[in-house]
Structure 1
Amino acid sequence: MKRRAFLALGTSALALMAAPVRAAMPRFLSSEPFTADTVRVLAQQLALSEFRPRPEVPAAWRDLTYDEYRKIWFNVQNAIWAEDPFLFEMDLFHPGLYFPRAVEIDVVQADTAHRLAFDMDLFDSTDDAPVLAVDETMGYSGLRFRHLFEGEFNHREFAVFQGASYFRAIGAAQAYGLSARGLALKTGDPEGEEFPDFTRFWVEEPTPGDPVIIMHALLDSPSVAGAYRFEITPGEACEMRVECSLYPRVPLDHAGIGPLTSMFLYDQTNRHRFQDFRPAIHDSDGLLIWNGAGEMLWRPLANPVELQVSSFVDDSPRGFGLMQRARRLSDFADLEAHYHERPSLWIEPEGDWGPGVVRLVEIPSDEEIYDNIVAYWRPRDPLAPGQEHRFAYRMTWGDEAGRAAPPRRKDVARVLNTHMGLNFRRDAILAAIDFAPHPSFDVPPVYGALEGFTLFVNASRAETSTGVFQPNPETGGARLAFTFDPGDAESTELRAQVFKDGTPVTEVWLYRWTRS
């Protein structure tokens, strides 16, 4: 991005002495008391009234082209708290284009919330940027947090909240990838999806040295209002603790809690469908579930030719998430997108979420610019109107295998990769599943195979071979390979796992094969 140029004044000595120009915090439009219950009370009151969409920003802002929108950007020298000794700074995004309705943003100081006026002086622009009328009450389209990491001199961004109820974050050494949402409603339903909006944010001003930033959000939609509290801790992994209270206006029989949104175009399972120089393109490559029964389920993602919905029935899940397990540059051969640096995102419920399903929605896509994967927890029982429904969970944005990895079973080997295609005789489909190293794999192979293991392989509407289990010298782990013949079936559900002396030593591998 182009940044504003500053002219040297007089001599070089004067230039060195000149302080950078910074705007003060935007003017406060209003101030009002704020407590821990403020947003919950607002959401309760909102749910008792008929839904009313927020007003749109002026037409000149809505009608900006993509190129025009990018000619205006926030000047980070004008960040909120830029002149304060905090580990955090906050940037603001202007509305328009994809964001026709703005959000209100308040800074909470002590027990008072101050609503920020829209201030065009906080932004920079190119010389040919459009000149737009400004209404200081119109609000912003979202916000971005930056953090001063240890050993660094500049605040670096780690989280963005912008658009509907979408937000995303990264660990300290990562690139942005998948997103999360406050709430999903009717995802994949024939009558269409409903997208709730965060309509107002309250950001608590931190104190010097405070490693955590706290933000509250008000959610609104035709079907529900909600109050959210985010406790966000940046680091090697960005950790968020989320509390949400939902107040339905109507029965919510299809609500998605802790929803995740990602992109999967292709990998070794469907590479043949795409003419591209890269071996894989995806922000996430699998859905991981630690179910209430204690099983670790791994379901590689797919890009189906028709909409595909999978439901994993559970009771009191221990966690679920969309993972990016491909971590080598050579997995993608992309020097620009850096897919190998995209975060995994793990949801860890707090308390008993009861019965329901982890739902996976896979939408056909032919471009890497579209998010086509959604995963979330769907409670079995509808969320009734006139009641408060509370959920709390932790989110870990990072590397699943890094030092700040989320909690999971350590006694079963992770699935590293799945390869799929025709076998050598071209008369059946071969699936090869690579597992990470495990202590039980450290035995001498017999005629190239690992013995003493029980291989469970199963397929619906298809015959399978017994499978072969071999060491993989490249990964240091092992590979399970088997064939299956779906015959005339359009799809088949596959399941595989390896046992030693009756004890599982690998994750449960699940896959839905469909004819393409």
Structure 2
Amino acid sequence: MTDNSPNLFPTLDRRRLVTGLANFGALAALGLSPPAFATGTASIPLLEAKQYNLEELVAQARALARRPWTPPRRIAPEILEKVDYDAFQQIRFREAAAVSAGPGGAWPLAPFHLHRFADLPVALHLVTDQGARQLGYAPNAFEYRGELQAEDFPADMGYAGFRLLNTDGNPGDWLALMGASYFRSSDPMNQYGLSARGLAIDTTAPGRTEEFPRFTSFWLDQRNPERLILDALLDSPSLSGAYRMEIVRGQSTEMTVTSRLFFREGVTQLGVAPLTSMFWYSETNRHSASDWRPEVHDSDGLVLWTGAGERIWRPLNNPPQVTTSSFLDENPRGFGLMQRDRAFANYEDDAVFYERRPAVWIEPLGDWGRGSVQLIEIPTDDEIHDNIVCFWTPERETSAGDEMAWDYRLVWTADPMAPEGLGRTVATRIGRAGVPGQPRPEGGNKIAIDFLGGRLAEFGSTDPIEPMITTSAGQIDGTYALRVVGTDTWRLIFDVYPEDAEVLELRAFLAYEGAPMTETWAMQHRPVAF
């Protein structure tokens, strides 16, 4: 189901927030600012230890939701408004002030300075057998190189969030949490890209303003040598929540997320396990791009593994207006935003390395019931805007006093999440309908889909591989499939004539003797005039 309404939510307000956080996150976490940390004498004080455990955090979230929401107090908004992108570059954290978030010096933690787009302090705690000790604010943990100096800020200002520094020889950090409930990892290729969030509320709910729940406090357990245990308290006008993330780094970084939500009031659209990314253009819509690079995107497709077992690849779009696509399901097995294209030659960007951007896979733990994966695509004309959002929305409505639990595994990976035993989509291209050298018919597009993997390499072009194509409107013609000479890639080609339809929902896969040989390619196609 697709909604092409142009006024689903105030995109400018949202874009300002998300773009601001993305830019500051890139600066602080991607090494775009001066690569060397400032040095010098610095220390972050630890306050008095207090009793803490997860059960108490859950009880705190439940009790918080029973009280009216209190808007957080902004700290020195006039001065923080001056900490824009350029000013933030001049404030550097001193490496000597990093504190350990794990045993034996593991996981050095570097707090973020407050700034224009993250001007609400969060409480950071380290947990030991003696209890939880909050990190006090330390002005000398930062070096101020611009017009703004430490004395311009309140002495008890606090921190915007934190990042965990690499200790494996790679520069920078591998995990960053800052602003609302946003977090992201640069694993496994030491390159940041898309972001995850704790929760999304009313992102595209008609007549509602999007609400950004905020992680207000964090607890990092210093006692576990094998995994990072991170707890967080979530709060917003509509609900409160307790989160635990158990994080294990490896070839892929896995986060086992446990969440307990307590509702102050009903939520029209609840977004569970939300992901936010950027898609400007790829080979699919290269004809509309104004940039010299072949492709520019953090993610190029949505992967779905439905409760019924179907594997789906949905190429991302940069639509002319805000568009919501709903994929109805029951007990989904997984979904995520992928960066499948890993060839440098398809980006030619040796500054930000889009081919290294991580993919993120969400695997529900337990039954999630009936609902839908929502994909929101927002128009963009530049790579600085995060314009792609996806999350799970339960069918069940929420009311004041409700309690919900959502558990899932979130994986930061380079894996394209290819379905086992099936070919995966590796490219989608669009051109003029018809046959070269012959008069071209009007009003049609030719679509070429490349599939690779699974059992496809076992078949040749003379084998009876059958194209299976459906469309929501219009007509399909000129269909054929062949194995690309000298490769294991299979190509499905067809012409589509939309007739009067402005948007077509297309689905296609290759079959052999009635059985699917590939995942289902599902594209929302807007006719292109060449």
Query: Any idea what SS the aligned residue of 1:33 has?
Result: coil
Contact 1:47/1:224 (<8 A) preserved:
yes
- Residue 232 of structure 1 deviates from its aligned partner by 1.1
Contact 1:3/1:124 (<8 A) preserved:
no
- After superposition, the Cα gap between the structure-2 partners of 1:194 and 1:280, relative to the gap in structure 1 and judged at 3 Å, is same
Give me the CA root mean square deviation: 2.2
> Counterparts of 2:350 and 2:236 in 1: how far apart (Å)?
40
Residue 479 of structure 2 corresponds to residue 467 of structure 1: yes
- After superposition, the Cα gap between the structure-2 partners of 1:306 and 1:134, relative to the gap in structure 1 and judged at 3 Å, is closer
Query: Any idea what SS the aligned residue of 2:361 has?
Result: strand
- Residue 513 of structure 1 deviates from its aligned partner by 1.1
**Length-normalised TM-score, structure 1:** 0.90
Contact 2:195/2:276 (<8 A) preserved:
yes
1:329 maps to which residue? Answer: 344
> Counterparts of 1:278 and 1:228 in 2: how far apart (Å)?
40
1:203 to 217, 220, 232: 220
- After superposition, the Cα gap between the structure-2 partners of 1:66 and 1:127, relative to the gap in structure 1 and judged at 3 Å, is closer
The aligned amino acid for 1:273 is S
Contact 1:198/1:218 (<8 A) preserved:
yes
Residue 439 of structure 2 corresponds to residue 422 of structure 1: no
The alignment covers a number of residue pairs equal to 488
**Length-normalised TM-score, structure 2:** 0.87
Residue 42 of structure 2 corresponds to residue 23 of structure 1: yes
2:458 to 439, 442, 445: 442
> Could you report, residue by residue, the CA deviation over 1:306-348 in whole angstroms, capped at 9, with x for unpaired residues?
1111000000000000000110001111111200000000000
> Counterparts of 1:5 and 1:199 in 2: how far apart (Å)?
27
> Could you report, residue by residue, the CA deviation over 1:263-307 in whole angstroms, capped at 9, with x for unpaired residues?
001112221212211111110000000000000011000000011
Matches within 5 A, 1:149-160: 149=168, 152=169, 157-160=173-176
1:141 to 155, 160, 168: 160
The aligned amino acid for 2:140 is D
> Counterparts of 1:330 and 1:475 in 2: how far apart (Å)?
18
1:491 maps to which residue? Answer: 503
The more displaced of 170-179 and 418-427 is 418-427
> Could you report, residue by residue, the CA deviation over 1:357-381 in whole angstroms, capped at 9, with x for unpaired residues?
0110001111110011000000001
Matches within 5 A, 1:298-337: 298-337=313-352
- Residue 387 of structure 1 deviates from its aligned partner by 2.9
Contact 1:89/1:155 (<8 A) preserved:
no
> Counterparts of 2:448 and 2:34 in 1: how far apart (Å)?
48
Structure 2 unmatched runs, 5+: 1-32
- After superposition, the Cα gap between the structure-2 partners of 1:475 and 1:276, relative to the gap in structure 1 and judged at 3 Å, is farther
Query: Any idea what SS the aligned residue of 1:386 has?
Result: coil
Query: Any idea what SS the aligned residue of 2:115 has?
Result: coil
Contact 2:432/2:445 (<8 A) preserved:
yes
> Could you report, residue by residue, the CA deviation over 1:417-445 in whole angstroms, capped at 9, with x for unpaired residues?
11112134253201111111332443333
> Counterparts of 1:130 and 1:78 in 2: how far apart (Å)?
18
The aligned amino acid for 2:507 is R
> Could you report, residue by residue, the CA deviation over 1:37-83 in whole angstroms, capped at 9, with x for unpaired residues?
12111111110111111111113233323211221021223211299
Residue 233 of structure 2 corresponds to residue 223 of structure 1: no
Query: Any idea what SS the aligned residue of 2:392 has?
Result: strand
Residue 395 of structure 2 corresponds to residue 380 of structure 1: yes
2:210 to 169, 177, 193: 193
> Counterparts of 1:83 and 1:229 in 2: how far apart (Å)?
16
Matches within 5 A, 1:328-407: 328-401=343-416
- Residue 475 of structure 1 deviates from its aligned partner by 5.2
Query: Any idea what SS the aligned residue of 2:58 has?
Result: helix
- After superposition, the Cα gap between the structure-2 partners of 1:475 and 1:79, relative to the gap in structure 1 and judged at 3 Å, is farther
Percent identity of paired positions between Structure 1 and Structure 2: 36
Contact 1:357/1:380 (<8 A) preserved:
yes
Structure 1 unmatched runs, 5+: 7-19
Matches within 5 A, 1:451-462: 451-462=463-474
- After superposition, the Cα gap between the structure-2 partners of 1:66 and 1:171, relative to the gap in structure 1 and judged at 3 Å, is closer
**Structure 1 stretches (4+) deviating beyond 6 angstroms?**
3-6
Contact 1:455/1:466 (<8 A) preserved:
no
1:409 maps to which residue? Answer: 419
